[in-house]
Chains A and B, each alone.
Chain A
């Protein structure tokens, strides 16, 4: 079995375990009741979106510094994954918000800054797809990727800096405001999504590298 298949299989097993623990084994919340189970799908998506844009930030800096295309392939791939997971975090957040808050959407600092992040990196993907010269696209992407990441700490601290409807972090340094069975369920889901992210990123980088190699081959072919 290839290492990538092992990673994918491990992510799948953990996702199924996390799904079982989150949907069946963990208890309902004292205030939200059964709706709390949406948290095990919502928080891991938000976590992986941070992880994706963190990867975009680091590899974009490395690309501008070293000018090696592999860093650009990783940044581009991570940005695509980040948009996917931010979209899922927004969707699951809205589905959780409707029954618990009574509304799909509110102009709350956490929600708005997350939507802005989604738009920034959708713009990043648009710039990449419109660039005719891959190197110019990579340079422009790296700049957007670095500047766009500034929104991530704003999102994270928005619940501290502003009066928001969104609840503050339940897991902060040295302070866990969560019952142990719920914490265990959330940790399994977070680990499962982290492995899934590693699997998807590896797969997507392979696709990006092979596509670039094919484009080079076409460019070199005599006419």
Chain B
């Protein structure tokens, strides 16, 4: 393997791991926010029209 291949391997692993972790966290946060909104008490309108 050339030096460039070793460097690409190291940077590639770090980039993939971080991108996947950020994507997983953001997806989980979005899901939780949606669930929280869905379970929030409904506010009824006071407008009688």
Q: Which residues of A contact B (CB under 8 A)?
A: 19, 23, 33-35, 37-38, 41-42, 45, 84, 87-88, 91-92, 95-96, 98-99, 196, 200, 203-204, 206-207, 210-211, 213-214, 217
Q: Is the CB of B7 within 8 A of A206?
A: no
CB of B46 within 8 A of chain A? no
Looking at chain B's contact residues, the main secondary structure is helix
Are B6 and A98 in touch, CB under 8 angstroms?
yes
Given known A-B contacts A207-B25, A210-B32, A99 and B10 have beta carbons under 8 A apart: no
Q: How far, in angstroms, from A42 to B9 measured CA to CA in the complex?
A: 12
Q: Is the CB of B26 within 8 A of A210?
A: no
Q: A210-B36, A217-B39 are in contact. Are A41 and B25 (CB under 8 A)?
A: no
**CB within 8 A of A200: which of B6, B9, B22, B36?**
B22
Contact in complex: B6, A99 (CB < 8 Å)? yes
Binding site for A on B (CB under 8 A): 1, 3-4, 6-7, 9-11, 13-14, 17-18, 21-22, 25-26, 28-29, 32-33, 35-36, 39
Contact A35 B13 (CB under 8 A): no
A211 to chain B: which residues have CB within 8 Å? 32
In the bound complex, how far is the Cα of B4 from the Cα of A213, in angstroms? 48
Chain B residue nearest in CB terms to A15 = B18
Query: Is there an interface contact between B14 and A45, defined as CB atoms closer than 8 Å?
Result: yes
- B25, A95: Cβ atoms closer than 8 Å: no
State how many angstroms separate the Cβ of B38 from the closest Cβ of chain A: 11
Give the nearest-CB partner of B18 in chain A: A196
Q: Is the CB of B36 within 8 A of A38?
A: no
- B1, B13, B14, B39, most chain A CB atoms within 10 A: B14
Contact with A203, one of B6, B9, B26 (Cβ below 8 angstroms)? B26
User: What separation, in Å, do the CA atoms of A31 and B26 have in the docked complex?
Assistant: 42
Shortest Cβ gap from A157 to chain B (Å): 26
Given contacts A41-B10, A99-B3, 19 further A-B contacts (CB under 8 A): A33-B3, A34-B7, A37-B7, A38-B10, A42-B10, A84-B21, A88-B14, A88-B18, A92-B13, A95-B6, A95-B10, A99-B1, A196-B18, A200-B22, A203-B22, A203-B26, A206-B29, A210-B29, A214-B35
